[in-house]
Amino acid sequence: PNLIGTQPLKAFTDYVYNWLGATDDAHGVQAGLTLGQTKTRGDWSVTGYWEHIGQEAAISSFTYDDFGNGGTNLEGAVAEINYQLLNPLTVTVRSHFTNFINRPAGMTNPTLTRLQLDAQVKF
């Protein structure tokens, strides 16, 4: 549906479960919303999502490595803004706010914040 003017609103979700996980930390979920789209110059979009990936939900090498320290045993939110600067060029500002689900022994549990600036060229 178009929520603001002609801007589309999209909901998305992903779920993973490791049937062979040794503990109950074998679940992972990601859910979020995107408002807008970037197709032509001047277009924009805003995305926000929450992710929870248990220690045994997936092989760490196959997870989103920019989320926290990469790997599993993490949860948190991601917010991003995209702007179509030129027809072939989209710029993105993205921030991740993550914490350990089960804090490893001897570690504090502050929120890890990561800010990314991206530029994508389509050709």
Q: Is residue 1 over pLDDT 60? A: no
Domain count along the chain: 1
**Per-residue model confidence as pLDDT tens digits over 7-56:** 899 999 999 999 998 888 999 999 999 999 999 999 999 999 999 999 99
> Residue 67 and residue 95: Cα distance in Å, rounded?
10
**Per-residue model confidence as pLDDT tens digits over 97-118:** 999 998 888 887 678 999 999 9
**61 lies in which domain range?**
2-121
The pLDDT of residue 54 is 92
* Strand ranges for the chain from DSSP E: 2-4, 7-17, 27-37, 44-53, 74-86, 89-100, 112-121
pLDDT band at 82 (very low <50, low <70, confident <90, very high): very high
Q: Is residue 5 over pLDDT 80? A: no
The pLDDT of residue 90 is 97
